[in-house]
Amino acid sequence: MIADVKKSAEQKMQKSLEALQVDFGKVRSGRPHAGLLDHIMVDYYGTPTPIKQLANVTLADARTIGIIPWDKKMLAVIEKAVRDSDLGLNPMTVGEMVRVPMPPLTEERRRDLTKIVKAEAETARIAMRNVRRDANNQLKELLKDKLIAEDEDRRGQEEIQKLTNHYIAEVDKLLQTKESELMAV
């Protein structure tokens, strides 16, 4: 039973870590990548649809993302969706392609992005602590129902604490890597 609680907690912490990696992927450094636009939804004939399901998203050059829609009528809609997104980008249509130039980051913008990244990391840490709390509560319930002994409860809580410490250290490593990436000129 303790193993089930621990396994469940570990899976939830792993999902929180993966969500953090996805969130960090949305915060751009100086280099563009096609995944930067993955979260942008386009109104495809009344249905919100991710850009990558409507178009081929590639790197046109070192500072430009190219979006080539399969349905050419979607050019203006995709351009508007990218412009209205929270990324602060200014796309333009060139022929049958939407070009999204990535402006160079200023020092001030880099510091703002670092603050955003730190806030996301703290949110992930909080999520992991909540998972720890829930797992400890499950152990307390098992103890209360006399399904486990007090020693097993204590040992289980120690294992869950070690697990929490491990995943929080992973979050800190990711944060440090992303901060150095953002501050690199």
CATH classification number, 34-101, choose in 3.30.1180.10, 3.40.50.2300, 3.30.1360.40, 1.10.260.40:
3.30.1360.40
Q: What pLDDT was estimated at residue 162?
A: 95
Helix pair 150-183, 2-26: axis angle to 10 deg: 10
Q: What pLDDT was estimated at residue 184?
A: 77
Q: Where are the alpha helices (DSSP H) in the chain?
A: 2-26, 75-84, 107-144, 150-183
Contact (CB, 8 A) for 151 and 36: no
Contact (CB, 8 A) for 174 and 20: yes
| Residue whose entry in the numeric block shows the structure tokens 């850009």 | 51
* Ranges for all domains in the chain classified under CATH 1.10.132.20: 2-26+106-183
Architecture of the CATH domain 2-26+106-183? Orthogonal Bundle (1.10)
Which residues of the chain fall below pLDDT 50? Answer: none
Q: What pLDDT was estimated at residue 116?
A: 83
Residue 184 host element (H or E): none
SS3 77: helix
Q: Which residues make Cβ contacts (< 8 Å) with residue 69, sequence separation at least 6? A: 54, 55, 75, 78, 96, 98
Q: What pLDDT was estimated at residue 29?
A: 63
Q: What pLDDT was estimated at residue 52?
A: 87
Pairing of strands 64-69, 55-61: antiparallel
| 44 beta partners | 47
pTM of the model: 0.68
